[in-house]
Amino acid sequence: MLEVKDLHAFYGRAHILHGISLEVRAGEVVALLGRNGAGKSTAMKAIMGLVPPARGEVSFAGQRIERLPPYRIARLGLGYVPEERRIFTELSVMENLEVGRQAARAGVPLWTEDKLFALFPNLARMRERPGGRMSGGEQQMLT
Ligand SMILES: Nc1ncnc2c1ncn2[C@@H]1O[C@H](COP(=O)(O)OP(=O)(O)O)[C@@H](O)[C@H]1O
Ligand SMILES: [Mg+2]
């Protein structure tokens, strides 16, 4: 589903990713472990195109994506959940979800309340709760 080969990324002249390779198959959960500052977030951002990869290949669902801008990658169905959360603290859970809802597109499954709350049952019990009055972990689920 997602295949990364020999990925390199820089911030200016600082060489952060030195050829990372990984594969994620459909339905699989893969964790990337490393000390603070090792480059985990940079790896996710490089896969998503938020930090342009300097070298290497990224394929998603059979398509090469390492030269695409982030919005095109997102439209293919690849998501990135930032650890900074960035939810709207004054809006309710349901309102936050509506803000993030995208128009229907061919080939991309639509989320529904049922599917979402089956995945995150905790959120189903706090639909009207303002985002700012949830725990860090609950806010991360909402993100
Ligand atoms: N926007 C940035 N500009 C310059 N250097 C950065 C930037 N973001 C992260 N770095 C540096 O890149 C390295 C990897 O950071 P990061 O990928 O955030 O690490 P991790 O997520 O594994 O903790 C660190 O040395 C960090 O200081
Ligand atoms: Mg990080």
The domain ranges of the chain are 2-75, 93-142
Ligand 1: list residues with CB < 6 Å: 11, 14, 16, 34, 36-42
Centre of ligand 1 from the C-alpha of residue 39, in Å: 6
Per-residue pLDDT at 90: 96
CA angle 53, 57, 61 (to 5 degrees): 115
Per-residue pLDDT at 83: 84
> What's the alpha-carbon Rg for the chain, to the nearest Å?
17
Atom number of ligand 1 nearest to Cα 34:
22
Query: Does residue 37 contact residue 12 with C-beta atoms inside 8 Å?
Result: no
Query: Does residue 30 contact residue 42 with C-beta atoms inside 8 Å?
Result: no
Per-residue pLDDT at 94: 95
User: Tokens in use for 94?
Assistant: 């349901």
Q: Give the number of other Cβ atoms within 10 Å of residue 65's Cβ.
A: 21
Q: What is the pLDDT along the chain (143 residues), one digit of tens a residue?
A: 999 999 999 999 999 999 999 999 999 999 999 999 999 999 999 999 999 999 999 999 999 999 999 999 998 889 898 888 889 999 999 999 999 887 787 777 788 889 899 989 999 999 999 999 999 999 999 99
Name the CATH topology of 2-75: Rossmann fold (3.40.50)
Collapsing DSSP states into helix, strand and coil, what is residue 25? coil
